[in-house]
Amino acid sequence: MQTVLIVIHLLIVVALVAVVLLQRSEGGALGIGGGGGFMTGRGQANALSRATAILGTLFFATSLIMSILAGWSRAPHSIIDGVAPASTSTSAPAAPKPAGNLLDQLKQMEDQRGKPAAPAPEPPKP
């Protein structure tokens, strides 16, 4: 259903763009589109205006229908369900996360690197 509606919507979009581009320019528009062409006269202007209004209405309707269909397929969820309950186990606590901003975290990393490591065992002498 949604695929058919999307295809219809795209066809309406292409037709709407074509009808709008066929209309005669009324403003200066950089001096283009002012001359006569194969779509001149008042009858064509009324037909193009009516076609634009109909296609615009169809575009709006298909957009609303698609948004309603997308809302129906979405499952409701609660914000409260997403929160995990706190663990009350007596096991060893996890390592604390670095607190503070980025500079504090960088200082902590630098301090950890600056500490002397445990001396490496010496190789046996022959």
The answer to whether position 16 is within a domain reads yes
Higher confidence at residue 43 or residue 98? 43
Instruction: Sort 55 into a burial class: Cβ within 10 Å, 0-12 / 13-18 / 19+.
Output: buried
Place of tokens 């066809």: 11
Report how far residue 56's alpha carbon sits from residue 58's, in angstroms, rounded to the nearest whole number: 5
Q: What are the phi and psi torsion angles at 94 (to 5°)?
A: -70, 160
Parent domain of 52:
2-25+41-73
The answer to whether position 35 is within a domain reads no
The answer to whether position 47 is within a domain reads yes
Q: Could you report the per-residue pLDDT of 45-87, keeping only the tens digit for each? A: 688 889 999 999 999 999 999 999 888 877 777 777 766 666 6
CB 16 within 8 A of CB 48: no
- Please give the structure tokens belonging to residue 3: 């695929």
Task: Compute and round to an integer the Cα radius of gyration of the chain.
Answer: 34
The answer to whether position 56 is within a domain reads yes
The answer to whether position 13 is within a domain reads yes
Put simply, whether the predicted model's pTM sits higher than 0.85 gets the answer no
* Amino acid present at 101: N
Report how far residue 109's alpha carbon sits from residue 100's, in angstroms, rounded to the nearest whole number: 13
Q: What is the pLDDT of residue 10?
A: 96
Q: Could you report the per-residue pLDDT of 4-47, keeping only the tens digit for each? A: 999 999 999 999 999 999 887 766 555 555 555 555 555 566 88
- Please give the structure tokens belonging to residue 79: 């914000």
The answer to whether position 12 is within a domain reads yes
Please tell me the total count of domains within the chain. Answer: 1
The answer to whether position 51 is within a domain reads yes
The answer to whether position 85 is within a domain reads no
